[in-house]
């Protein structure tokens, strides 16, 4: 198929940036979206032009590195996938595709479609861990029984890949789904109880400090999340947060 691409080009954080049109031809429906971008870049390099910068790494939907806002949706029109797993069979010959970076105040653009998501790292550093040394001198792994239900639910929350689609999709650029998922993983497990009060307070405080917006329960994040992280996690975080403040 032949496509018209409207791509956000921005040389660095200080550049104002603009949309630029490109044409690509003979795109196979079996290609992944990023392979289509590879074709474009190879074309640009051979013409002596600057290729489009975009983040990507594992190309199997797990590392969370790829982003892109495609036709107004984080990770494009398909559900339950990251951009690297999006296939060109979702598009048809003659389509015009708009490609922008994930936009949020807390995700400044580095170049073109590459954004800085280190705010997510800082939120995790504020409390997204269990304070246990890696000495190996912990108790036997089977010493504490954990119900299958709790373990499975914790796992569902833990599958968040930290891509930032939730933030990009939210009209308030809120990171509640991301933070809620991490808080939930620990809240659902006995290992997480000891530091539960401080964890949720510290992580929420850091989230606010980074400039993420508030949650107004519109649920766009859940729809666009490539890993299907549920809104329940936000509710659970709110509960944790209120009870932490009551306990104070």
Partner 1 sequence: MSVLDSKVPKGPLKTKWTDYKNHIDLVNPANKRNIDVIVVGTGLAGGSAAATLAELGYNVKTFCYQDSPRRAHSIAAQGGINAAKNYQGDGDSTYRLFYDTVKGGDYRSREANVYRLAEVSGNIIDQCVAQGVPFARDYGGLLDNRSFGGVLVSRTFYAKGQTGQQLLLGAYSAMNRQIARGKITSFNRHEMLDVVKVNGKARGIIARNLVTGEIERHSAHAVVIASGGYGNVYFLSTNAMGSNVTASWKIHKKGAFFANPCYTQIHPTCIPRSGDYQSKLTLMSESLRNDGRIWVPKNMEDVMAIREGKKKPTDLSEDERDYYLERRYPAFGNLVPRDVASRAAKERCDAGYGVNATGEAVYLDFASSIQRYGIEQAKIHNIENASKEKIYELGAAIVKAKYGNLFQMYEKIVDQDPYKTPMMIYPAVHYTMGGVWVDYNLMTTIPGCYAIGEANFSDHGANRLGASALMQGLADGYFVLPYTIGDYLSHDIRTGKIPTDTPEFDAAEKEVTDRIEFFINNKGEHSVDYYHKKLGKIMWDKCGMSRNAEGLKTAIDEISALRKDFWKNVNVPGTTTEYNEQLAKAGRVADFLELGELFAKDALVREESAGGHFREEHQTEDGEAKRLKEFQFVSAWEYKGEPKDAVLHKEELVYENIEVKERSYK
Q: CB-wise, 4 or 147, nearer to partner 1?
A: 147
* Member of 117, 179, 225, 229 binding partner 1 (CB under 8 A): 117
d(CA 236, CA 241): 8
Does 197 bind partner 1 (CB under 8 A)? Our answer is no
92-111 residues near partner 1, rule: CB under 8 A: 110-111
Q: CB-wise, 46 or 171, nearer to partner 1?
A: 46
34-63 residues near partner 1, rule: CB under 8 A: 34-35, 38-39, 42, 44-46, 48-51, 53, 55-63
* Member of 23, 92, 121, 208 binding partner 1 (CB under 8 A): 121
Does 185 bind partner 1 (CB under 8 A)? Our answer is yes
Min CB(187)–partner 1 separation in Å: 10
d(CA 218, CA 111): 30
User: Among 57, 175, 184, which Cα is nearest to 123's?
Assistant: 175
Report CA torsion sign: 214, 220, 223, 226.
negative
Q: CB-wise, 124 or 172, nearer to partner 1?
A: 124
Max Cα–Cα distance, the chain, nearest Å: 64
Q: CB-wise, 55 or 215, nearer to partner 1?
A: 55
User: For partner 1, how many residues bind (rule: CB under 8 A)?
Assistant: 79
Alpha helix (H) ranges present in the chain? 33-46, 118-125, 148-158, 165-169, 176-187, 196-209, 220-224, 232-247
Pull the structure tokens for residue 237. 């975080």
d(CA 234, CA 195): 19
Does 201 bind partner 1 (CB under 8 A)? Our answer is no
Per-residue exposure over 196-214, b if at least 16 CB sit within 10 Å of its own CB, e if not = bbebbbbbbebbeebebbe
Does 128 bind partner 1 (CB under 8 A)? Our answer is yes
* Member of 2, 138, 216, 217 binding partner 1 (CB under 8 A): 138
Stretch touching partner 1 by CB under 8 A, among 98-106, 134-142, 165-173, 234-242? 134-142
User: Among 193, 189, 160, which Cα is nearest to 177's?
Assistant: 160
Site string for partner 1, 72-91 (x = CB under 8 A): ------x-xx---x-x-x--
207-246 residues near partner 1, rule: CB under 8 A: none
Pull the structure tokens for residue 187. 């809240």
Does 126 bind partner 1 (CB under 8 A)? Our answer is yes
Q: CB-wise, 137 or 248, nearer to partner 1?
A: 137
């Amino acid at each position: 198929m032949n496509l018209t691409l409207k791509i956000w080009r921005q040389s660095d954080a200080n550049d104002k940036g603009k949309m630029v049109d490109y044409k690509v031809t003979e795109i196979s429906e079996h290609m992944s979206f990023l392979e289509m971008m590879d074709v474009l870049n190879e074309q640009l390099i051979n013409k002596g032009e600057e290729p489009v910068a975009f983040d990507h790494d594992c190309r199997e939907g797990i590392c969370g590195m790829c982003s892109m806002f495609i036709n107004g949706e984080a990770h494009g029109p398909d559900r339950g996938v990251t951009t690297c797993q999006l296939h060109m069979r979702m598009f048809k010959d003659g389509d015009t595709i708009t490609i922008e970076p994930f936009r949020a105040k807390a995700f400044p653009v580095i170049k073109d479609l590459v954004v800085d998501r280190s705010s997510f790292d800082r939120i995790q550093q504020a409390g997204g861990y269990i304070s246990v040394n890696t000495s190996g001198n912990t108790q036997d792994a089977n010493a504490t029984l954990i119900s299958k239900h709790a373990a499975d639910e914790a796992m569902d929350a833990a599958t968040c890949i930290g891509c930032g689609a939730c933030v990009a999709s939210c009209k308030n650029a809120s990171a509640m789904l991301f933070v809620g998922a991490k808080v939930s993983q620990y809240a659902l497990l006995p290992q997480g109880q000891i530091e539960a009060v401080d964890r949720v307070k510290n992580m929420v405080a850091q989230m606010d400090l980074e400039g993420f917006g508030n949650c107004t329960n519109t649920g766009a994040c859940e729809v666009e999340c490539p890993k299907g992280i549920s809104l329940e996690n936000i509710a659970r975080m709110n509960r944790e947060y209120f009870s932490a403040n009551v306990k104070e």
